[in-house]
């Protein structure tokens, strides 16, 4: 079976559905972690010669371009990009019904090539056709824009339209439909309908359910309530109509509302969370469903910076094809690693100084924090006691802090968070160099995760399902200093691969408070992290080497993809 998944036939055996996929820095088809993970998954599948095909939506207006005014207020602008620069239009057309209107869908192909030349096609669905009503032409414009009705329409296009499009493209041997988050759950409804037709059954039988389940894999990505789509049943009826699946007692989801997570849970044969801890949290949230975990990774060749790629090419040949070989990084000379790090830090600081005129210094200890601006990620935890932070900076000479991250267009609290950081930034002027860079995207992510000295993450546990930016940092020898949540519970070996902030995860969550987390952060920054950087460079370098060797070699999508093949795709 495993061989079967990786044979050289040109037909997809695994159909991977995701609301967002980040493949090219020039294509604004992703918003953040979920989309980057999807892109890295597909790149790893290409490297591993897996017969996979990707399905997503084409966002003509993209996920927004973020401007920040002088007070830190976020201004969202559509991204103008030219689809034909990246994608090839396919001739196939399929239809879905939306509010009794027929909506025609076309798709655009993007090809991802693995290191050995294996190609994975990704199809972006698009309703901007003159045959469609004006409102339907806009259904694939914006990622996470619009209201509930707009989102439901998009999920009909992705789930139902996506399955039909793969049929039209003649992918007839698909063994698994992988739902990357619940946005794609409606594909199960289409698969049920198909089974009903094929078996000429009048109603959904246990056998039909079993047949569909056997084909479905579901990955859940967040414990945050808002991340699980629910649609009022009235809205569902008016837009999608009724479906016998919605009435099966205890099987599907749906009393007052259609819950996309439950739809996927009840119709998938294999379900997983994205880190060990997240698997556990998800099992508690969704008992009695059986939920496994496969810890996320990143695509090493995509996230290793130029200087480190050169170093690895010289000393660890084959690391791109075989990420596990990064374990040999322990044998690298520390002065070579330091030189590569300084080159990447210089690249980042030159960019920042050019863009912001804030005069960051190559010799000064630099912390990086970049992720979606939203309450539970607590970007401003570091700034809870600005006076204390200044004291610590003064004690060692200097501290520089670099922030970036977009707030979701509807997340008012997330937007306030950015404004708050701007305010403190002004207060600290002349004492600590602190910048918030606008428009965090793939390219800025590459610069930041390779160019800072230490990568900071301070989420409210247990909300961080996995987190992946610290894995990108590790591949570039940048250690993490983070709350023990998500992947860091698995990745942190204290003083060996980085440092933990706050309580051990076994302790009651209630025991750790924002205050105690901030205290611990300041204490450790003052007594461990900064002294190591400024006064014990050999020790700091040893931690950099272990970040690469222990974490870079493991928290990558090659290892992750291998686990999906064994656990999710081969049953």
Ligand X SMILES: *Cc1c(COP(=O)(O)O)cnc(C)c1O
Interface residues toward ligand X, by CB under 6 A: 32-33, 36, 371, 440-442, 445, 467-469, 472
Q: How far is the CB of 548 from ligand X (least distance, A)?
A: 17
Q: What angle do CA 495, 498, 501 make, to 5 degrees?
A: 95
For ligand X, the closer CB: 21 or 239:
21
Q: How far is the CB of 34 from ligand X (least distance, A)?
A: 8
Token pair belonging to 193? 């309908």
Q: How far is the CB of 196 from ligand X (least distance, A)?
A: 39
- Alpha-carbon distances of 508 from 81, 103, 478, 513, rounded to whole Å: 48, 51, 30, 11
Token pair belonging to 60? 């003509």
Residue 527's φ and ψ, nearest 5 degrees, are: -100, -15
**What is the β-pairing status of strands 433-437 and 94-98?**
unpaired
For ligand X, the closer CB: 32 or 159:
32
For ligand X, the closer CB: 177 or 455:
455
For ligand X, the closer CB: 262 or 555:
555
For ligand X, the closer CB: 178 or 472:
472
Q: How far is the CB of 186 from ligand X (least distance, A)?
A: 26
- CA-CA distance, 391 to 386, in Å (whole number)? 9
Can you name the residues that pair with 123 across neighbouring β-strands? 55, 109
Token pair belonging to 397? 């000479």
For ligand X, the closer CB: 325 or 439:
439
For ligand X, the closer CB: 37 or 239:
37
Q: How far is the CB of 459 from ligand X (least distance, A)?
A: 9
In which residue are the tokens 């044998």 written?
331
Closest C-alpha among 367, 298, 318 to residue 561: 298
Q: How far is the CB of 47 from ligand X (least distance, A)?
A: 19
For ligand X, the closer CB: 68 or 163:
68
Q: How far is the CB of 456 from ligand X (least distance, A)?
A: 11
- Pair 372, 408: CB distance under 8 Å: yes
Closest C-alpha among 260, 62, 117, 99 to residue 179: 260
Query: Residue of minimal CB distance from ligand X?
Result: 445
Can you name the residues that pair with 401 across neighbouring β-strands? 367, 434
In sequence order, what are the residues at sequence separation of 6 or more whose Cβ sits closer than 8 angstroms to the Cβ of residue 84?
Answer: none
Q: How far is the CB of 199 from ligand X (least distance, A)?
A: 42
Closest C-alpha among 122, 127, 111 to residue 161: 127
In which residue are the tokens 């096609």 written?
121
- The single-letter DSSP state of residue 462 is T
Closest C-alpha among 400, 396, 457, 460 to residue 425: 400
Closest C-alpha among 229, 222, 216 to residue 178: 216
For ligand X, the closer CB: 193 or 380:
380
Q: How far is the CB of 435 from ligand X (least distance, A)?
A: 17
- The single-letter DSSP state of residue 62 is B
**What is the β-pairing status of strands 101-113 and 88-89?**
antiparallel
Q: How far is the CB of 173 from ligand X (least distance, A)?
A: 33
For ligand X, the closer CB: 63 or 171:
63
């Amino acid at each position: 079976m495993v061989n079967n998944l990786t044979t050289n036939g040109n037909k997809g055996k695994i159909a991977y559905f995701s609301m967002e996929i980040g493949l090219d820095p020039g294509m604004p088809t992703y918003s953040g972690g979920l989309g980057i993970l999807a892109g890295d998954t597909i790149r790893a599948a290409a490297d591993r010669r897996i017969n996979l095909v990707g399905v997503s939506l084409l966002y003509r207006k993209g996920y927004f371009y973020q401007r920040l005014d002088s007070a830190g207020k976020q201004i969202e602008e559509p991204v103008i990009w030219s689809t034909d620069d990246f994608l090839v239009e396919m001739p196939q057309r399929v239809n879905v019904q939306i509010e009794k209107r027929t909506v025609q869908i076309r798709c655009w192909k993007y090809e991802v090539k693995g290191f050995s030349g294996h190609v994975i096609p990704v199809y972006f669905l698009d309703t901007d056709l003159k045959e469609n009503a004006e409102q339907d032409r806009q259904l694939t414009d914006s990622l996470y824009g619009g209201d509930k009705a707009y989102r439901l329409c998009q999920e009909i296009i992705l789930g139902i339209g996506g399955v039909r499009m793969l049929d039209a493209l003649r992918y007839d041997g698909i063994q698994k439909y992988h739902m990357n988050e619940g946005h794609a759950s409606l594909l199960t409804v289409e698969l049920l309908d198909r089974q009903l037709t094929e078996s000429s059954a009048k109603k959904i039988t246990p056998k039909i359910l079993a047949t569909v389940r056997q084909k479905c894999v579901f990955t859940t990505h967040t414990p945050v309530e808002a991340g699980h789509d629910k649609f009022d049943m009235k809205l569902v009826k008016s837009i999608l109509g009724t479906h016998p699946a919605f009435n099966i007692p205890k099987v599907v989801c749906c009393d007052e509302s259609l819950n996309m997570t439950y739809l996927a849970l009840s119709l998938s044969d294999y379900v997983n969370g994205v880190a060990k801890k997240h698997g556990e949290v998800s099992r508690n949230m969704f008992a009695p469903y059986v939920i496994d975990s496969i810890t996320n990774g990143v695509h090493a060749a995509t996230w290793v910076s130029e200087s480190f790629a050169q170093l690895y090419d010289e000393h660890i040949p084959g690391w791109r094809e075989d990420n596990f070989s990064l374990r040999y990084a322990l044998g690298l000379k520390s002065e070579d690693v330091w030189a590569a790090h300084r080159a990447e830090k210089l690249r980042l600081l030159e960019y920042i100084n050019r863009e912001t005129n804030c005069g960051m210094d190559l010799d000064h200890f630099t912390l990086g924090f970049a992720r979606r601006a939203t309450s539970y990620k607590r970007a401003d935890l570091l700034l809870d006691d600005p006076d204390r932070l200044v004291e610590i900076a003064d004690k060692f000479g200097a501290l520089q802090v670099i922030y970036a991250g977009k707030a979701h267009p509807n997340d008012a609290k997330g937007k306030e968070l950015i404004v708050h950081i701007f305010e403190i930034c002004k207060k600290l002027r002349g004492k600590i160099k602190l910048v918030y860079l606008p428009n965090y995207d793939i390219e800025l992510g590459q610069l930041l995760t390779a160019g800072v000295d230490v990568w900071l993450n301070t989420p409210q546990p247990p909300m961080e399902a996995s987190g992946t930016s610290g894995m990108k940092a590790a591949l570039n020898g940048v250690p993490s200093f983070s709350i023990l949540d998500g992947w860091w519970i698995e990745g942190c070996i204290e003083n060996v691969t980085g440092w933990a902030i706050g309580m051990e995860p076994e302790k009651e969550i209630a025991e750790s408070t924002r205050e105690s987390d901030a205290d611990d952060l300041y204490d450790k920054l003052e007594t461990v992290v900064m002294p190591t950087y400024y006064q014990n460079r050999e020790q700091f370098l040893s931690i950099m080497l272990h970040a690469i060797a222990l974490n870079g070699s493991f928290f990558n999508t090659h290892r992750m993809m291998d686990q999906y093949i064994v656990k999710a795709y081969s049953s």
